[in-house]
Structure 1
Amino acid sequence: MKDNFKQPIGLTSAEVDQRTKEGKVNRAVNDQAKTAWQIIKENTFTYFNLIFLVLSILLVIVGEYKDLTFLPVIIANMIIGIVQELRAKRVLDKLNVMNTTKIAVIRDGKEEVIPIEHLVLGDVIVLQTGDQIPADGQVISGTLRVNEALLTGEADEIEKDVGTELMSGSFVVSGKAYARLEKVGKNSYVSKLTLEAKAMNSKEGSEMVRSINKLIKWVGIIIIPCGIALFIVARYVNHLNLADSVVSMEAAVIGMIPEGLYLLTTIALALAAMRLARSQVMLHDMKSVETLARVNVLCVDKTGTITEPKMEVEKNIP
């Protein structure tokens, strides 16, 4: 092992500065997560809310504030959705496979300890017992025994000699070696794994909510001509004043929109999400509850890792 263990020179300060400017730094960029503003916007600016906004404006214009009793239902539905998604975002933001904060690196021929976010592509790091590998690299000197259980689910120790690839997120069980970083930041294996776990699907995943949204959309389209027709009848056929015409039209239109159904669905999903959270279950959003309820078969391998749905049963052995 001594013949195989030589300290390299590592990068120079000028090379580190240049690669830092080029963005080749070991800093994961979570470009898939929704911002707080995006969550608020998606729950506020909906077609469902637009219909009620128009009705509210009409009632305010004619001064019929007492008929705005439908607003608490809409506001409650909106707030529940925003709060649940912000809670999920906070949990996902904390999700990180990397526990190491600092690592020994060789620069200008000298060993120094720096935060893992300051590592750059091509840096030579020193790995020894207990260290977590901060980025993908290759052993250039020395020998290690590595545990990759966090990444693969396999608890076996794997020997890494010169020229062997190292995956970020794995732990050094024994030995000492120098490794050159080949993939850093969001290009490293552990960053891709973390981003994949944090990714939130932009499409509506809940069949129930999707069906309600579809119903609201069609109802919203139909009530526009209906509302205009009802207003014309009240104003010019029944000769009611403007305020009474608007109130009459609003009362008929509100009855066509199932806002109570929307609120009950949101409350049911929110309560289910809270119960799962108490059992340490992490949800991307509260609508994941319905997705979980629709699962009939969950495929896992021997380590308990969820696998892709590509397996086929060949024969049944009683």
Structure 2
Amino acid sequence: MDTDQKVLNTKKVTLPVMGMSCAACAVSVESMLKSTSGVADAGVNYANQSAWVDFDPKTTDLLSLDKVLQSVGYGFIINEDEDESIAEQEKLKLEHYHKLKSKTIRTGILSVPVVIIGMFFMDMPYGNYIMMALTAPVLFIFGKDFFINAFNQAKHGKSNMDTLVALSTGIAFLFSTFNTFYPQFWHEKGLHPHVYFEAAAVIVFFILLGKLLEEKAKTNTSNALKKLIGLQPKTIKVIRDNAEQEIPVKDVLLHDEIVIRSGEKIPVDGKVVSGSSYVDESLMTGEPIPSEKTAGAQVFAGTINQQGSFTFVAEKIGKNTLLAQIIKTVQAAQGSKAPVQRLVDKIAGIFVPVVIAISIVTFILWMIFGGENALTQALLAAVSVLVIACPCALGLATPTAIMVGVGKGAENNILIRDAESLEKAHEVNAVILDKTGTLTQGHPQVTNWKWSSNISDHAKHALAIKLLESRSEHPLASAVVGFVKENGNAKVENFKSVTGNGVRGIVDGNEYLIGTLSFLQKEKVTLDSDLEELADMQREAAQTVIGVSVNKAQIALISIADQLKATSADAVKKLKEQGIEVYMLTGDNNQTAAEVARQVGIKNYLAEVKPDDKMQFVKKLQAEGKIVAMVGDGVNDSQALAQADVSIAMGKGSDIAMDVAKMTLITSDLMTLPKALRLSKKTVRTIKQNLFWAFIYNLIGIPVAAGILYPFNGFLLNPMIAGAAMALSSVSVVTNSLRLRSAKL
């Protein structure tokens, strides 16, 4: 397809694919999709049995693409409802697993007597006929899919693992059948007519057993996604026509009033309108302490109500909820390919034809140099090469590790949007941290409230301050209002906001001034000398100070700052221990930046930087050869996030930051960052281990199967043993990947 035809008005979808049995199958599906008219690009992930397709809806549609795949033995699960699609895929996977289990058991039952006769009673009367009768259903009933898939592939000039299995077992069965009916052909040549029914039967059995264990293992890799989907309730209670109705969650509408009672899961995102309770939001925040919910508070789908009940209005439903976005992120990441996987896909695509060629060459060499048993030995070696050269272990090496790594990340409040970031993060040697919202809480809080020694009745004055500040629009006023616990009513008169200075007003007959100390001085307020001393100390600590006076006498000093997160300093320390250089960038003033940097232990920082400055700083570090991770939470960080090698957003940050970033730390705990980098290292190490064993297996196994050891010690690999080794190699790769689930981060 011409490049000009691609990209224009395309639609990208990800769908489950059924029928893939090996890594080469994934390559076949991908190549078929890419070669279809109207498809701009496509990718297939064998581990989670899915494919994404970027196509032009005017030229083709999903049903047409499904027909293309069906022509080679595969197919899409097409369902507009993503949740139903996932559920349908899980249902079909379960059905497939049970069918595979049944076939494997039946194949084993038939194969056992074939092996016993073939190994120990090969000379018993009618032994060959009994073995042939038992092997035929193993191959052509329980193993028929190998032959059907191989034929479908061959029609399109393609091949996969099924091609290898069909060729090896088919040739072994035909050869043995010929020897059973026409033994005199060999007797006339003075040779014994060997049969290999047991090899053909056991090859199919071991391959089916390997697939069974593989399927069971692969289902465990998507547990994180299943758990997230399970957090969504199926039905909800809404108030319609002044009555409470129970409806399916998919039928909820925006602005519906939803009733939540004790112990129930919250179905969609919204805002509380009445009632109060505590909600377990550990899914979203990572914090174990339930969050209090009263009127006006935000609630999120998937969180669990504790004691109490409340009513809230639906503000985000369906695919727009935070939980749905998390599920989509995990699903997309598990289906994405790491850069190393692209190389593996190319290898798998050419692997099968190469193996067939090696098998043919092996057969020819044995026929030339094999001596009196040349044909038998040639056939045996050629079949062994076909069987042992399974590319499945190679194909599973990367995606299974990525899937488990993504799942492990989700369990630790790390959302990974694509495999490339998970693979790249282990190389990071420079981390840039935004200050506000990343190292700090991201909102101003009262850090110190000091009363003058000349004043009493603190509760009365605190309430008056709260009432006045609640009328102010200044960003710091909300910090004061949130800090004061006293509640009550008092008469407020003559309220006035003085821009850039503070507020004034009369409460219960007393005149209050709240604002900067210079504002109080201008208003002829008598300042408290002890409080003035404290103000100087707080300013040096990069805190904002607010004075409060009553009837021209200062009564209090309030210090406000964007406080550090409790774990920021520890997180920076952990990063340094990993040999990573840590930088801080902020738009805040230099004094505040210096104090925050000092408190968390960062030597390299820049203050008063603009969004573009942050991006330029990332480029500067990259030009020095550093692999840079940028961590931020705001719109102002989006350019730097996009430029960085690895971009990480804080989960409570802006939607834009999270859209740009390839990783999101759901919790506000910055200690999750060193965990994410350690997860990358462990995942990449697992991938390398998997690839090493898969390559070594094939590099050693194929020459041995071809008979390279025969001239030295007379060893010729039995196809039955080759089949067992091939099946176990795939299982070992998946099992090694699953070890990541128990890794400590």
Contact 1:138 1:163 (C-alpha < 8 Å) held by counterparts: yes
Structure number with larger C-alpha Rg: 2
Q: Secondary structure at the match of 2:198?
A: coil
Q: Secondary structure at the match of 2:210?
A: helix
Contact 1:144 1:172 (C-alpha < 8 Å) held by counterparts: yes
Aligned equivalents of 2:356 and 2:82: distance in 1? 51
What is the Cα deviation at residue 191 of structure 1? 3.9
2:534 aligned with 1:70: no
Aligned equivalents of 2:265 and 2:359: distance in 1? 61
Deviations 1:88-130 (A, max 9, x none): 5388496454375543211123222334354344422012433
2:738 is aligned to 289
| Compared CA separation, residues 25 and 67, structure 1 to 2 (3 A) | closer
Sequence identity percentage: 20
What is the Cα deviation at residue 262 of structure 1? 2.0
2:541 is aligned to none
Q: Which one of 286, 289, 297 corresponds to residue 153 of structure 1? A: 286
1:89 is aligned to 219
Q: Secondary structure at the match of 1:254?
A: helix
Aligned equivalents of 1:246 and 1:185: distance in 2? 65
2:361 is aligned to 226
| Compared CA separation, residues 148 and 291, structure 1 to 2 (3 A) | closer
| Compared CA separation, residues 104 and 77, structure 1 to 2 (3 A) | same
1:47 is aligned to 160
Contact 2:281 2:290 (C-alpha < 8 Å) held by counterparts: yes
Contact 1:80 1:267 (C-alpha < 8 Å) held by counterparts: yes
Q: Secondary structure at the match of 1:30?
A: helix
Aligned equivalents of 2:173 and 2:726: distance in 1? 24
Aligned equivalents of 2:265 and 2:309: distance in 1? 12
2:306 aligned with 1:178: no
What is the Cα deviation at residue 54 of structure 1? 1.3
2:86 aligned with 1:30: yes
Contact 2:367 2:375 (C-alpha < 8 Å) held by counterparts: no
What is the Cα deviation at residue 68 of structure 1? 3.9
Letter in 1 for 2:299: L
Any gaps of 5 or more consecutive residues in structure 1?
1-22, 270-284, 300-318
1:281 is aligned to none
So what's the TM-score if we normalise by structure 1?
0.56
2:382 aligned with 1:253: yes
| Compared CA separation, residues 143 and 290, structure 1 to 2 (3 A) | closer
Letter in 1 for 2:379: E
1:57 is aligned to 170
Letter in 1 for 2:169: S
| Compared CA separation, residues 231 and 73, structure 1 to 2 (3 A) | same
What is the Cα deviation at residue 292 of structure 1? 5.6
Q: Which one of 125, 131, 138 corresponds to residue 271 of structure 2? A: 138
Deviations 1:124-162 (A, max 9, x none): 201243332112222244444322124433122323344
Q: Secondary structure at the match of 1:70?
A: helix
Aligned equivalents of 2:296 and 2:247: distance in 1? 25
What is the Cα deviation at residue 194 of structure 1? 4.9
Aligned equivalents of 2:322 and 2:382: distance in 1? 54
Letter in 1 for 2:725: L
| Compared CA separation, residues 219 and 198, structure 1 to 2 (3 A) | same
So what's the TM-score if we normalise by structure 2?
0.27
Q: Secondary structure at the match of 2:301?
A: coil
Letter in 2 for 1:152: T
Contact 1:138 1:166 (C-alpha < 8 Å) held by counterparts: yes
| Compared CA separation, residues 264 and 87, structure 1 to 2 (3 A) | closer
Aligned equivalents of 2:173 and 2:282: distance in 1? 62
Q: Secondary structure at the match of 1:179?
A: strand
Q: Secondary structure at the match of 1:58?
A: helix
User: RMSD value over aligned CA atoms?
Assistant: 4.9
Contact 1:27 1:186 (C-alpha < 8 Å) held by counterparts: no
| Compared CA separation, residues 188 and 266, structure 1 to 2 (3 A) | same
Aligned equivalents of 1:291 and 1:70: distance in 2? 36
Contact 1:142 1:162 (C-alpha < 8 Å) held by counterparts: yes
Aligned equivalents of 2:174 and 2:80: distance in 1? 58
Deviations 1:270-308 (A, max 9, x none): xxxxxxxxxxxxxxx645335569x6xx43xxxxxxxxx
Q: Secondary structure at the match of 1:77?
A: helix
Letter in 2 for 1:159: E
Aligned equivalents of 2:352 and 2:376: distance in 1? 23
What is the Cα deviation at residue 33 of structure 1? 5.4
| Compared CA separation, residues 263 and 84, structure 1 to 2 (3 A) | closer
Letter in 1 for 2:303: S
Contact 1:140 1:163 (C-alpha < 8 Å) held by counterparts: yes
Aligned equivalents of 1:289 and 1:174: distance in 2? 38
| Compared CA separation, residues 267 and 151, structure 1 to 2 (3 A) | same
1:92-241 map, 5 Å: 92=223, 95=227, 96-98=229-231, 100-194=233-327, 200-201=334-335, 217=352, 220-227=355-362, 229-230=364-365, 233=368
